[in-house]
Structure 1
Amino acid sequence: MSDWQHLDKTYILPTFGRMPIAIAKAEKNVLIDTKGNRYLDLFTGLAVNILGHSYPRLMKALAEQGKQFLHISNIFLNTPAIRLAERLVKHSLKTGKVYFGNSGAEATEAAIKLIHKWSVKHAPQKKGIIVLKNSFHGRTLGALKLTRQPGIYQDFPQIDLPVFEIEVNQTTQLEQVCEQFRPAAVLVEPILGSGGIVLLTKEFLETIQQLCQKHQMLFCVDEIQAGMGRTGTLFAYQAFSLKPDLILFGKGVGGGLPLGGVIAGEKLLDAFQPGDHGTTFAPSPLSAALGNAVLDALFEDGMLEKGKQTADYLWSRLNDLQTEFPTIIQSINGRGMMIGIRTCFTKEEIKALQTELMNDGILINITAQTVIRLLPPLTLTDEEIEFFITTLQRRLQQRLDKKEV
């Protein structure tokens, strides 16, 4: 055990199982540990570092805003945040208002309050929220109620909020719940992230929107992981003809600093009044300045389009890999730079593969126990893709060779 591992175990509560590397520096798409070892970062801080590390626009915004002010009270007008809110609305719902928090979980907490406020005023007979099995919406107690993974919600105290869990892409079940229980809202991730990179079909998403209109429910999309250009559009729902009432965002929006929130559509513009909700630190002027820099990079530097082209090449090479190893790779799911490689490995085998790739200089994430989750930056290069593919190819071939022996 290294000194850093010992200190971590001694002084930090063990809420995460950490990989045995201490990071000293990051540059572009690489993390560098305290021993000087370099690692291709396909974690991107769990979908946060959409532009890799030390992207020039972000570093410039960090320096410029740092010279102005780091924090002010929400009593005052926060110019970087106002500008960011305007741009988020114009690039999504066209008409709407933003509430900023510090994280995705806080976005979910705000969403719960907004849905409640709306239902009390406009639909008092409607209670509760429809969510999807294996969905993930955060770990705070309110968000935890909506996160449908038993290993996460466990036996923690639960808020008094009706939650209706349905299977992914099951329109009949969705229709039955809407008819029987008359909920106030539906909240879905367009692509389940922690749940194993599972796509909601176009038909299912359109049915949700239609049923929300029919039954006067709120249509809410959780874009915390899939948003900010990761799937080829600013938000994943924009791949279809949808107009949600509420968008949850987080992770990549702050350019590496804590920031999250919701974009409230026309039905919710007046749901919050002064005193209904708030936080001390959000929106951080520094995070908001970086958020504007992220949007500049996506739309002015062309990183949204470049990311789509890079993703196409990565998908092509992954499909080649699946063709070569059909007995190991069961399926490849996702969109853009949000990819899940479903394997036939056991939990122990997939963890061993993760460790081997780490030793080879590549960092991957595992979710849903046996799914390799890739969350690459839009700045990934073709050379880095080849490094990853050839390394993974070698490790998979080694496993086949062992079985043949």
Structure 2
Amino acid sequence: MSDWFQLDKEYMMSTYCRTEVAMEKGEGCKLYDVDGKEYLDLFSGVGVNVLGYNHPKIVQMTMEQVAKSLHLPFHFLNPVAIEYAKKLVDCTLKSGKVFFTNSGTEATETTLKLIDKYRFIANEERDGVVVLKDSFHGRTLGALHFTRQEKVYQNFPKTSIPVYEVERENIDQLEETIIKENPIAIMLEPVLGSGGIYPLSNEYLRGVQNLCEKYNVLLVVDEVQSGMGRTGKLFAYQNFNITPDIIQIGKGAGGGIPLGGIIVGERLCDVFSPGDHGTTFAHSSMGTALGLTVLNTLLDDGLMQEAYETSLYLNDKLQDIQKENAYYIQEVRHAGMMFGISVNDTKENVKKLQIELMNKGMLVDVTQGNIIRLLPPYIITKEEIDAFTYEFISCIHNIAATASI
């Protein structure tokens, strides 16, 4: 195991904080390292494996698609990509178009380019995008400036597109910013993911929609993390009575294969002309085939509703743990299969808690220093949840005993 860690340090760029665990395969909600140790993955591969690892339908479609093609040139029609795009539009805006990318951050880049072209052809004087503090929209050079976490963007030159940051849930500040800065768009996550799992309220999102209509501002919802069924609806915005102009997708959209994209409404769907934008791997044969498989599984098998009901079970267990350990666990927030557990401890001790859980075979994420983030696969069972919460309680007590709270 340590040999892999040393080789990683020697040959891989140090852009990730890695543990000294080398993973080899996955099955269901479990991962297995090169030594055969089993781990319950409560982060589903950074929110990607919504159906778990090696789901039978994903495996079957992978084998079928491999026999046909891994990649087809974008110059030709791709029936699977077209079918997937149609279904995404039918399930969301009812009328619109899709552009597929390779990732969520590319979806953000596509959005920014689309907005800029829209400004040009509409002869708009308005400029800039309003984003929420602690939001996350990607790490590429354009996208990272709309990611309002200083550690992510502080060392890079500023984008040419103005960015206006506002506090979440402060509708008055948002309106003041719109009046003062005259932006072209508002970009937000319905549930702030990397920011710590903070679901936006119905009142706030309705207020945002009203302001967009009042001042003719585009509404962009970033569903890269909260989409593809994670909150009980196909997309989190559908829990509220709002209609975005652009929906950004990624992570779970490709069934484990890199895939992202944007779904755009009628106002924007014909802004791009041939040659304005593109990518070699657009509407990837494998990615869109697996994406369509994920979408059909979520819609046809009733998995979204089952996952939401399971999320309520996990939430009840976590809320009980919080009440019994309120001195250490400040709050548990959730939106379907998205959980943020705020820990009253130093980031060093929260990291120790994460590592101790990993040593017990439980994989969780830590964000913002002291928030444990869970994005479980939708197929997680109550028995697996019970196993996790048992170890979680044990690890809390072990770490809390050494903390100076």
Q: TM-score under structure 1 normalisation?
A: 0.98
Post-superposition shift, 1:397?
Answer: 2.4
Match of 2:21 in 1: 21
Post-superposition shift, 1:208?
Answer: 1.0
Post-superposition shift, 1:122?
Answer: 2.5
2:111 pairs with 1:111: yes
Match of 2:325 in 1: 325
Q: Which amino acid aligns with 1:316?
A: D
2:389 pairs with 1:389: yes
Post-superposition shift, 1:402?
Answer: 5.2
Post-superposition shift, 1:401?
Answer: 4.8
Q: Matches of 1:214 and 1:10 in 2, distance apart?
A: 55
Match of 1:160 in 2: 160
Q: Which amino acid aligns with 1:154?
A: Q
Post-superposition shift, 1:344?
Answer: 0.2
Match of 1:264 in 2: 264
Residue pair 1:329, 1:343 contacting (<8 A) in 2 also:
yes
Match of 2:208 in 1: 208
Which SS does the other structure have where 2:372 is aligned? strand
2:19 pairs with 1:11: no
Residue pair 2:350, 2:370 contacting (<8 A) in 1 also:
yes
Q: Matches of 1:271 and 1:393 in 2, distance apart?
A: 53
Distance 1:77-1:147 versus aligned 2 partners, 3 A rule: same
Q: Give % identity.
A: 48
Match of 1:130 in 2: 130
Match of 2:34 in 1: 34
Match of 1:243 in 2: 243
Q: Which amino acid aligns with 2:107?
A: A
Consecutive unaligned residues of structure 2, counting only runs of 5 or more, are none
Q: Matches of 1:400 and 1:183 in 2, distance apart?
A: 46
Q: Matches of 1:130 and 1:124 in 2, distance apart?
A: 16
Q: Matches of 2:299 and 2:399 in 1, distance apart?
A: 43
Post-superposition shift, 1:158?
Answer: 2.6
2:354 pairs with 1:354: yes
> Residues 359-374 of structure 1: matches in 2 within 5 Å?
359-374=359-374
Post-superposition shift, 1:394?
Answer: 1.2
Q: Matches of 1:145 and 1:317 in 2, distance apart?
A: 37
Q: Which runs of 4+ in 1 moved over 6 A?
A: none
Match of 2:88 in 1: 88
Post-superposition shift, 1:73?
Answer: 1.1
Q: Matches of 2:397 and 2:70 in 1, distance apart?
A: 51
Residue pair 1:144, 1:153 contacting (<8 A) in 2 also:
yes
2:299 pairs with 1:286: no
* CA displacement, residues 115-172 of structure 1 (integer Å, 9 cap, x when unaligned): 1122222351110100011111011111012111111112212321111000111111
* CA displacement, residues 348-395 of structure 1 (integer Å, 9 cap, x when unaligned): 100100110011000000001100000100000011000000111112
> Residues 220-235 of structure 1: matches in 2 within 5 Å?
220-235=220-235
Q: Which amino acid aligns with 1:175?
A: E
Residue pair 2:353, 2:399 contacting (<8 A) in 1 also:
no
Q: Matches of 1:159 and 1:342 in 2, distance apart?
A: 32
Distance 1:346-1:292 versus aligned 2 partners, 3 A rule: same
Residue pair 2:135, 2:195 contacting (<8 A) in 1 also:
yes
Q: Matches of 1:348 and 1:301 in 2, distance apart?
A: 42
Residue pair 1:123, 1:184 contacting (<8 A) in 2 also:
no
Post-superposition shift, 1:204?
Answer: 1.2
Consecutive unaligned residues of structure 1, counting only runs of 5 or more, are none
Post-superposition shift, 1:54?
Answer: 0.5
Residue pair 1:191, 1:334 contacting (<8 A) in 2 also:
no
Q: TM-score under structure 2 normalisation?
A: 0.98
Q: Matches of 1:200 and 1:122 in 2, distance apart?
A: 31
Q: Which amino acid aligns with 2:87?
A: R
Q: Which amino acid aligns with 1:52?
A: G
Relative to structure 2, which stretch is displaced further, 205-214 or 247-256?
205-214
Match of 2:74 in 1: 74
Which SS does the other structure have where 1:26 is aligned? strand
Residue pair 2:315, 2:334 contacting (<8 A) in 1 also:
no
CA RMSD for the aligned pairs? 1.2
Residue pair 2:102, 2:261 contacting (<8 A) in 1 also:
yes
Post-superposition shift, 1:248?
Answer: 0.4
Q: Which amino acid aligns with 2:95?
A: T
Post-superposition shift, 1:64?
Answer: 0.6
2:300 pairs with 1:274: no
Q: Matches of 1:178 and 1:401 in 2, distance apart?
A: 49
> Residues 287-326 of structure 1: matches in 2 within 5 Å?
287-326=287-326
Q: Matches of 1:119 and 1:179 in 2, distance apart?
A: 18
* CA displacement, residues 98-117 of structure 1 (integer Å, 9 cap, x when unaligned): 00000001000000011112
Q: Which amino acid aligns with 2:166?
A: I
Which SS does the other structure have where 1:267 is aligned? coil
Q: Matches of 1:23 and 1:358 in 2, distance apart?
A: 13
Which SS does the other structure have where 2:379 is aligned? coil
Q: Matches of 2:300 and 2:345 in 1, distance apart?
A: 42
Residue pair 2:127, 2:183 contacting (<8 A) in 1 also:
yes
Q: Which amino acid aligns with 1:6?
A: Q
Residue pair 2:349, 2:399 contacting (<8 A) in 1 also:
no
